Structure 1
Amino acid sequence: MKCSLLIKIHFMLNVIVFSACSLRQYHFVNRSMSWAEAQRYCRENHTDLTPVNNTTDLQNIINTVNRQTVWIGLHKMNNITWKWSLGDQAFYIGNQSPYRDWGNGQPDNGEKDDCVFMEKDGKWHDARCTDGISFICYNGSSKTFILEHEHKTWHDAQSYCREKHTDLARVTNNNENDQMKELIKPNQNAWIGLFRDSSDQTVSQICTKVEVSQHRSWIDNDCNRTLPFVCHNDKLILFRENVTWTGALEHCRRNQMDLVCVESEEIQRGVMNVMKDASTSEVWLGLRHSCVVGIWFWVSGETMCYQNWAEGNGTGEEDCRDGGRAAAIQTGPDRTWISLPGTRKLDFICSKIP
C-alpha cells in the first residue's frame, strides 16, 4: 500500500498538505512575515513553524510551496549547546542522550567548528561542517551503524543518511561508541550526528529559509527579512484514560479523531515519542482482529503494510472470546505490538483527522 498525498487550497493563502503516513499536517502561508512573526502566527493558529527532520518532511514542503523561498522552524541563538541530528527522544532511554566522549582539549569551540567527527580512537572533535570527510549513518530498522567512505560535508552526510537510512549516527553509551570506533580505519575521521545548536529560546541571531528549487537549499538568513512560511500541526495525542479498546475508539471519534494507525516506521517513532508519559504498560493502537475473516486491520480500513509485532504475537490464530483481540504497543524498551483482549483497560493514542 502506498500512502496518498492530498492537497487542499484555502482562499489562495494557505495550502494544507497531509499524508496518511505522516505525523504532521503542513500549512503553507502565502503571507510575507519576519521569522518571529511567522513563528507567532503558526503558534497561534497551528502548532509551530515546521521542522524538517527527514527527507519526507522536506518532500512535503517541496510539494507544498512549489519553487518558493520560505521560512522553516530552524534558528540559531546566542547560547550554544550540542545536539544530535537524530533528536527523537524515542531513541533515548534514561540519561543516554547527554553522553559525550570528547578528545583532549575538545571541543575547542572554534568560531565555525559547529559539527563533530570521530577519530579511530573513538574520541570526538569539533570541526567546520564544510569539511569533506567520511561519515557514519544509523539505520533504525536494523539498529546498525554504517560507515560511508565517500567524503561529504556534514550537512550532505546528514541528507544522505536520512535518505538511505535513518540519520547520522548518534551515540548514547560506551558500547555504541566502541561499535563505531571499530568501523573507522587508521588515519580516517568520520562525521557523527552531533552539532552545535542553541538552547536559549529568547534571542535569535540567524534564521533558516528553504529555497525550493532543483537544489533544495537551506540558507541562513536575516530573521527580519519577510518571507512566506510553512506551519505544521501535530497529529498524535496520548490520553491517560484507562479504557477498553472500544472505549478508546469511541473517545477518539467523539473528538473528531481516530485511534492511531501505525502505517510506517515514521509513525511508529511518533507513537514511541508521545507514549513516554503513559500510565499503563501498554497503549491501545487502532488495530483490531477480525474473527470473521481472520485478519488484522486498521480502523482506517487498511490492512497492514508495516508491522512491529513482538515475537509470538499477531501471526497465529487469535482467541475471539472476551470481546475479541486488539493491538497495543508496549511502553517498555522494545516498543513492540502485542495482541490483547479488547476488554483490557489501557491508555490510548488518538490521531487528528484532517
Structure 2
Amino acid sequence: IKVSLTLSLLSFSLCQERQYYFVKKFLNWDEAQRYCRKHHTDLATIGNSKDVKQFLDIVSSADDDVWIGLYSNINWTWSGLLNRWWDYDCAKKFPFVCYNGNISVVNKFVAVDEAMSWSNARTYCRHNFTDLATIGNIKENQWVQTLVPTGYWAWTGLYRDENIYWSDKSSFGFSNWDHISNLIGSDARICGATSKARSAKWKFLPCQTRLPFVCYSFKGEFYRSLVKQMTDLGRKFSR
C-alpha cells in the first residue's frame, strides 16, 4: 500500500502545474515545512525550468535567501572532530593533501600543489602514496592545516553520498545547484535554500537558520485538496 500510494502521488504531481506562495515569516526549515503542510501542500518543490521561472516571479519581493523543500541527510565516510571542513562541488579543481601509510606519523601527510578534481586527486594519491588524507583527530587536523596556505582550499579524503530529497517525496531528477561551498560542520542534516539574487539556484544551510520560505500547492482548489489527502495518506502508511 505504501509503495502504491507514493507512486500515485508522484505520478499525479508530475502532471499538474505548481502554484507557489511566498511566506514572509522567519522560521527554521522544520517550522516552515509544518506551516506549508498545514496551509498548502508542502515546502516548494522545483521540478523543471518552468518551475524556476514561476518561482522567481513569486520571490521577486524577497531580499535574501528563502527555504525550499530540499534537504540532505549527512552520512560521512569518515568522521572528524572539528567543524572547519566544507562541502564543495567535487568537479572543482583544488590542490590536495595525500597521506602515506608507509612512513612515520609525523611526515605521513603530503601536500600536492597541483589543482585537480576530487576524484582525480584521489586517483593520484592512491597511485603515488596511500590515499587522500584521512584526518582522525585534532593533532592531525592541525598538521594538515600547516600544509595548506592560509586562505587556500585543498581536498582531503572526506566525502559523502548525496542523500538529497524533496520534502514532498518527489523524485530528485532536475537540479539547479549554485556552485558555492556549504559549511556543514557537525550537522546531521542540511536544508535547501535559494534566492532571487542567485537566480533561484540551490544551496544548503543549517536547518535551524530562520528564513522566509516558499510553499506550493497545485493550481485549482480541487488539485490542492486531492494531493493533500494523498500526501497525508502516504505519511500515515509510511509510519
Structure 2 length-normalised TM: 0.35
Higher relative contact order structure (alpha carbons within 8 Å, sequence separation ≥ 6): 2
Structure 1 length-normalised TM: 0.24
Higher share in helix: 2
